[in-house]
């Protein structure tokens, strides 16, 4: 295949990885490589009847050759054109069943060798499950029978997973509604190159920097061909029964609780060259499985004028779902302020309900002064309505009674972890729809239990009548214990771990506190588990309370002297100082280290300041980003000073690093302080003029806050980045704002200014790095950089003062 010249140049750059030999990837030290190949814990899926845990085994990192398959970037998606599904779909490699009563574990039989599957779903009754098995040319549907612990193919027909999960269970637990590819598929449309022409309209239409958009009408034809699917019912031991609906670009097909109807969403052409698929026009409708009758709910136009401001949304019905306590009632949310968070409005959203047979007008249930996030419904008709308002970071929970009436349960600062009551627990009903879990009319809540001493998760019984709560269970140090599920009035499914013990799963009795172990995970890195940690609590120069976890290598003692140190962090935005200083982690948690974790560098003799507080606080009418740089430098200086005071950190040899917004942080710290000897920046954005309509928590445009964008962009201050900087980026990064050009342009700026930088572009990788070779290369690059520029760095020409550059 002949590549266009620009693509050929990019490919050569990726292969060279700036100065690596084109013959292949590099490997780090053996102890670091072992982290890449360490076995992963399985994912757990509890059956709806609470009897069985499905253990979904996770495969090792795939080879880069697997990522090198043909991928089409269309309408904001990365599509595998041979398999008609997401190019980056996460897969599982094995399946076991664990009986919670007997503790018996069985290996499921019938999977093909080297199987890879996804979209595992239990049937509502828990007697069977379904999943999609990946083949070279597509996905097919398979059944799991729990009694025999065996699987078999349900149909050889290929599924279509381009736009949606490819199947859903019906309430009968014997039938799924599935999206299938067209049987008369033809070759994807091709067309000669043509100009890409865009034109403005009469109104302002700001947009994010979305990636993988359609580039031409021919791209639109390819997207149409790949996303077109047909709906069918597939019952156990039966062939697919096609529904009386034409092929369409289906987004959703969800059965009603009575199993008689489907709620349908479909995309409608023409396709936009400037927006991702979820902004395209949509048709929302109902389909009766008994007689084939269709009812239109709404037609939503192209969403090309949604304001950028946080809290803004689309107009028309959104978050449409079946009410779980009724046979066939649709519930949805609509904006009352045209979806524009910038306008003044007494009420922002309303919730409506539409009852079968859908011949009368929808009925309004509730209005909210904020954006409605979701509703949890109980079998007795009561509902909890959760809403949120981003500008103030506040959330509300209100009780909706079936006879009418709304009562405010709480209105709180969503950033205040210490007072967070948690979320209400739900359980699948007989139809598979989630209902609130109750005991004597009270709701069960699960919380992370944040506190100044660290997280202590708890389970509470909440009385909506008087707002009181009773703690039923709280994590008991030195364990970090989390309630996974309430099995019955006495038994909990519990996950427990501590600093030295990986996760253990078992049942816990509320009556006598007996814990019965069912499953124990292996320690993937005993040598790292032996590392020492201490919790640091310290003050920023403006007396803001901060915290960090300080790690030292196994066997280190103060007599050996201070260590070269890696500081790895990610900034957060806050509207008040109290929330900004709260503790986020737990000293009782087992920390599993991955190839991405900064704790990996303990194996190479570094101390690690892990996830130190990096709050950016906006108060007294100021936005957080108005003083971003000043606060960032103060946070970093305070963390280093605290680690130095412990006798652990050598202030002359500290590196800073981060991923994504953490990379943005790291480069800013190099540009605006002399605290660090080197930096590592992975998949970041460095020139905010390239994200002109907002980024992260910033919802002002470049033209509304020009100085803020300018000041916050490390690219602006590339001439002040006088410490060595390692830039690593996935060459196919499709995350909004962090496209590879961000790293390329910063590298070119530093190079042109005479600074020291190294750029490594990883072929076929996105915002995170999936391939085994890519992870090894990432570790190799970082290990080499730290060795040369931090661990073995010569003394500074002048003593470290910690003062920011002017």
Q: How many CB atoms lie within 10 A of CB 522?
A: 10
Tokens of 61: 């990192």
Cα–Cα dist 17/25, whole Å: 9
Catalytic residue among 249, 321, 764, 767: 767
Closest CA to 757 of 770, 766, 745, 771: 745
Contacts with 759 (C-beta within 8 Å, 6 or more apart), sequence order:
18, 727, 728, 729, 743, 744, 747
Cα–Cα dist 109/128, whole Å: 14
Q: Cis bond leading into 270, ω under 30°?
A: yes
Strands 725-730 and 757-762: parallel
Closest CA to 74 of 200, 189, 224, 269: 224
321 is catalytic: no
The beta strands (E) that lie in 618-677 are given as: 649-659
- Phi and psi torsions of 461, nearest 5°: -110, 115
Strands 52-57 and 77-80: unpaired
Contact by Cβ (8 Å): 743, 729: yes
Tokens of 121: 């779903």
Q: Give how far Cα 392 sits from Cα of 30, 389, 619, 701, Å.
A: 49, 6, 11, 19
Cα–Cα dist 779/769, whole Å: 11
Tokens of 188: 């994807």
3-state secondary structure of 64: helix
3-state secondary structure of 215: coil
Cα–Cα dist 494/516, whole Å: 10
Cα–Cα dist 61/29, whole Å: 18
Contact by Cβ (8 Å): 436, 424: yes
Tokens of 55: 């253990």
- Phi and psi torsions of 529, nearest 5°: -60, -25
Cα–Cα dist 108/51, whole Å: 16
Tell the burial category of 661 from Cβ atoms under 10 Å away from its Cβ (0-12, 13-18, 19+): buried
CA 15 and chain centroid, separation:
29
673 is catalytic: no
What is the edge-to-edge ordering of all strands in the sheet holding 94-99?
43-46, 52-57, 94-99, 105-107
Strands 94-99 and 105-107: antiparallel
Unique residue bearing structure tokens 């308002």:
389
Catalytic residue among 173, 733, 736, 743: 733
466-504: buried (b, 16+ CB within 10 Å) or exposed (e) per residue?
eeebeebbebeeebbbbbebbbeeebbbbbbbbbebbbb
767 is catalytic: yes
Catalytic residue among 447, 660, 673, 743: 660
The beta strands (E) that lie in 104-228 are given as: 105-107, 117-122, 128-135, 138-145, 150-153, 167-169, 175-181
Strands 371-377 and 294-300: unpaired
Cα–Cα dist 350/372, whole Å: 8
Contact by Cβ (8 Å): 563, 637: no
Q: Give how far Cα 317 sits from Cα of 75, 323, 338, Å.
A: 22, 15, 12
- Catalytically active residues, by annotation: 660, 733, 767
């Amino acid at each position: 295949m002949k590549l266009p010249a620009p693509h050929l140049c990019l490919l050569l750059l990726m292969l060279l990885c700036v100065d690596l030999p084109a013959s292949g990837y590099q490997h780090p030290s053996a102890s670091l490589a072992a982290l890449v190949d360490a076995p992963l814990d399985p994912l757990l899926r509890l059956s709806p009847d609470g009897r069985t845990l499905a253990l979904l085994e996770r495969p090792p990192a795939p080879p880069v050759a697997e990522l090198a398959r043909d991928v089409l970037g269309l309408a904001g998606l990365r599509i595998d054109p041979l398999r008609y599904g997401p190019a980056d779909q996460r897969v599982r490699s094995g399946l076991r069943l664990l009986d919670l009563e007997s503790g018996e574990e069985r290996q499921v039989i019938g999977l093909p060798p080297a199987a890879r599957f996804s979209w595992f779903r239990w049937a509502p009754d828990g007697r069977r499950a379904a999943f999609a098995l990946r083949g070279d040319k597509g996905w097919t549907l398979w059944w799991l029978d729990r009694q025999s612990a065996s699987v078999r193919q349900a149909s050889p027909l290929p599924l279509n997973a381009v736009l949606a999960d490819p199947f859903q269970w019906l309430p009968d637990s014997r039938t799924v509604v599935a999206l299938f590819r067209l049987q008369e598929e033809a070759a994807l449309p091709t067309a000669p190159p043509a100009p890409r022409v865009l034109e403005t309209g009469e109104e302002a239409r700001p947009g994010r920097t979305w990636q993988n958009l359609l580039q031409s009408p021919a791209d639109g034809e390819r997207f149409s061909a790949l996303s077109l699917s047909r709906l069918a019912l597939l019952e156990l031991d039966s062939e697919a029964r096609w529904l009386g609906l034409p092929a369409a670009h289906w987004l959703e097909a969800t059965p009603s609780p009575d199993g008689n109807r489907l709620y349908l969403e479909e995309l409608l052409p023409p396709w936009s060259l400037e927006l991702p698929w979820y902004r395209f026009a949509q048709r929302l409708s109902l389909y009766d499985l008994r007689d084939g009758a269709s009812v239109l709910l709404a037609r939503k136009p192209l969403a090309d004028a949604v304001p950028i401001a946080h809290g803004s949304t689309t107009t028309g019905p959104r978050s449409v779902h079946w009410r779980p306590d009724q046979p066939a009632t649709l519930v949805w949310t609509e904006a009352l302020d045209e979806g524009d968070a910038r306008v003044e409005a007494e009420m922002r959203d309303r919730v409506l309900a539409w009852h079968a047979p859908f011949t009368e007008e929808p009925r309004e249930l509730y209005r909210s002064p904020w954006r409605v996030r979701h509703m949890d419904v109980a079998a007795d008709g009561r509902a909890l309505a959760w809403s949120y308002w981003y500008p103030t970071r506040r959330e509300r929970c209100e009780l909706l009674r079936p006879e009418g009436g709304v009562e405010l349960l709480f209105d709180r600062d969503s950033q205040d972890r210490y007072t967070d009551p948690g979320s209400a627990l739900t359980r699948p009903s007989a139809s598979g729809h989630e209902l609130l879990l109750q005991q004597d009319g009270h709701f069960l809540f699960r919380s992370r239990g944040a506190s100044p001493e660290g997280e202590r998760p708890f389970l509470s019984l909440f009385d909506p009548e008087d707002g009181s709560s009773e703690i039923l269970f709280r994590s008991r140090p030195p364990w970090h214990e989390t309630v996974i599920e309430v099995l019955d009035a006495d038994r909990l499914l519990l996950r427990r771990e501590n600093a030295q013990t990986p996760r253990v799963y078992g049942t816990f009795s509320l009556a006598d506190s007996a814990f019965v172990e069912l499953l124990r995970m292996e320690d993937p890195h005993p040598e790292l588990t032996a590392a020492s940690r201490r919790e640091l609590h310290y003050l920023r120069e403006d007396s803001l309370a901060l915290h960090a976890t300080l790690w030292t290598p196994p066997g280190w003692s103060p007599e050996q002297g201070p260590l070269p140190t890696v500081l790895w962090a990610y900034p957060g935005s806050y509207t008040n100082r109290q929330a900004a200083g709260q503790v986020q982690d737990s000293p009782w948690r087992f920390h599993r280290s991955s190839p991405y974790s900064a704790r990996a560098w303990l194996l190479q003799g570094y101390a690690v300041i892990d996830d130190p507080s990096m709050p950016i606080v906006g108060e007294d009418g100021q936005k957080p980003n108005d003083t971003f740089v000043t606060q960032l430098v103060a946070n970093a200086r305070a963390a280093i000073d605290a680690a130095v005071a412990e006798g652990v950190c050598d202030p002359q040899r500290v590196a800073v690093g981060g991923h994504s917004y953490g990379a943005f942080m790291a480069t800013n710290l190099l540009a605006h302080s002399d605290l660090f000897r080197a930096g590592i920046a992975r998949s970041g954005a460095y020139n905010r003029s390239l994200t002109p309509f907002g980024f992260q928590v910033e919802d002002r445009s470049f033209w509304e806050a020009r100085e803020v964008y300018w000041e916050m962009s490390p690219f602006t201050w590339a001439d002040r980045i006088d410490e060595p900087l390692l830039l690593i980026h996935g060459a196919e990064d499709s995350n909004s704002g962090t496209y590879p050009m961000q790293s390329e342009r910063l590298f070119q700026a530093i190079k042109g200014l005479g600074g020291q930088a190294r750029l490594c572009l990883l072929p076929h990788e996105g915002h995170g790095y999936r391939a085994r070779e890519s992870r090894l290369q990432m570790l190799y690059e970082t290990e080499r950089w730290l060795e040369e520029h931090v661990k073995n760095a010569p003394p500074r020409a002048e003593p470290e003062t910690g003062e920011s550059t002017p």
